[in-house]
Structure 1
Amino acid sequence: MSILSENIRYLRNQISSSQQKVADALFITRGRYAKYEDGASEPPIELLLRISRYFHISIDLMVSVDLRRISIKEIMELPDNRILLPVKVDEAGENRIEIIPHRASMGYLTGYSDPEYIERLQNITLPFLGLGKYRAFPAEGDSMPPHKDGAYIIGRYIDSFGQLKTGKSYVFITREEGITYKRLKEISNDRFLLSADNDFYDPYALPISDVFEIWEYTCSIATDEFKKEDFAPDHQTIIQMLKELKSEIKELRSKNK
């Protein structure tokens, strides 16, 4: 078996996926994909590009390095593995910021690496932003106040884990959750510990292998007017009461098991 066949088998196992699921994502049959894992044949360059984007690993690494000898975190931090996004500008030279609409947020999981999909998105420019590649993502739910459901978080693309800082908030594009906006609490060898600013929600671990993209918070756009009660002192008290109630319910359930 070639290094490539060993690597794609290893990467598939790392995400606990089936050959059929990977084949469906690549728009090929399971039998054809199985031949690549068995080393019976080599994928053409067009398909190799799709495989690279699916596993979020550069072609150079997949065909020349035994990935089993490197941790997923180290692989993602290698400069040669960066999947750089082009910075598009308008006629005035300002960065074009693509907007991911709420109705199309789930479609972003399959289209984030497709230039044609990105090209069809609406875009805006914000002259006060510095250098970098920016994109606007929809905020959903109440986990990150004061950002309301319907607001947009504008993030700057992170192309290396070395740029991440604990305590800052990021938009994570993940295999299971899709688009999620959370605060980074800790970084370990194989996972991130994320938390919501709303204390009602518990922190949770996100496997690094599940992450496709990371965008650092730079600013937000509110689509609803803030109200005085959004910042009322008793609002936080209610949140704390709900959190305590949640803990009590968990205890009751565990006792009744």
Structure 2
Amino acid sequence: PKFYLPMFNQGTYRAFEIKGDSMLPLPTGSIIIGEYVENWGDVKQGETYVVISKSDGVVYKRIGNKFKDNKKLKLVSDNPVYEPYEISGEDVLEIWKAKGYISTQLPVPAPEPTMESLTSMMAQMQRSISKLQSNN
């Protein structure tokens, strides 16, 4: 179905329903309004996008790098429990810049980290530090 949102009158837009808690405080079931990105070189580090890929399908993530630098996208969750990951440009089918969202729930704060998640984050930081030290 098509519907009209007056604030989005120029460009190509599409709505995507997101699932899961990786992008808290946006709750599962939120609908992301995305503007089609024609030139992937325009993707900006630190901003949120809906990425459609062959391997992952539809994901809503923050971009952690500039695509034009290495032809890969680093996808970062706002919830620190989830680790960032990379996908190759060949795997990407479409990119949509998040312009707004619709939700029937008011956002809730991200959950307090558990001892298990803190331990996991510490282990990841130790691996990252070791990797940096071995590269020098």
TM-score interval w.r.t. the shorter chain?
0.7 to 0.9
Q: Which protein shows a greater Rg?
A: 1
Letter of the 1:209 counterpart: E
- Matched with 1:150 is 29
- Please show how residues 48-197 of structure 1 align to structure 2 within 5 Å: 122-187=1-66, 188-197=69-78
Higher share in strand: 2
Q: Do the aligned partners of 2:81 and 2:121 also contact (CA within 8 Å) in 1?
A: no
Q: Residue deviations 1:106-152, cap 9 Å, x none?
A: xxxxxxxxxxxxxxxx1211001241100000111001112111110
Aligned: 1:244 with 2:127: no
Q: Note the residue ranges of structure 2 that are not aligned, 5 or more in a row.
A: 125-136
**Structure 1 SS opposite 2:79:** coil
- Matched with 1:113 is none
User: How far apart are 1:249 and its partner, in Å?
Assistant: 8.0
Separation in 1 of the partners of 2:114 and 2:84?
15
Taking a change above 3 Å as real, the CA distance of residues 151 and 242 of structure 1, as seen in their structure-2 partners, is farther
- Matched with 2:100 is 219
Taking a change above 3 Å as real, the CA distance of residues 169 and 240 of structure 1, as seen in their structure-2 partners, is farther
Higher share in helix: 1
Larger RCO (CA under 8 A, 6+ residues apart): 2
Letter of the 1:137 counterpart: F
Q: CA RMSD in A?
A: 2.0
Equivalent residues, number: 122
Separation in 1 of the partners of 2:6 and 2:115?
42
User: How far apart are 1:161 and its partner, in Å?
Assistant: 1.5
**Structure 2 SS opposite 1:123:** coil
Letter of the 1:215 counterpart: W
TM-score by length of 1: 0.44
TM-score by length of 2: 0.80
Separation in 2 of the partners of 1:162 and 1:130?
23
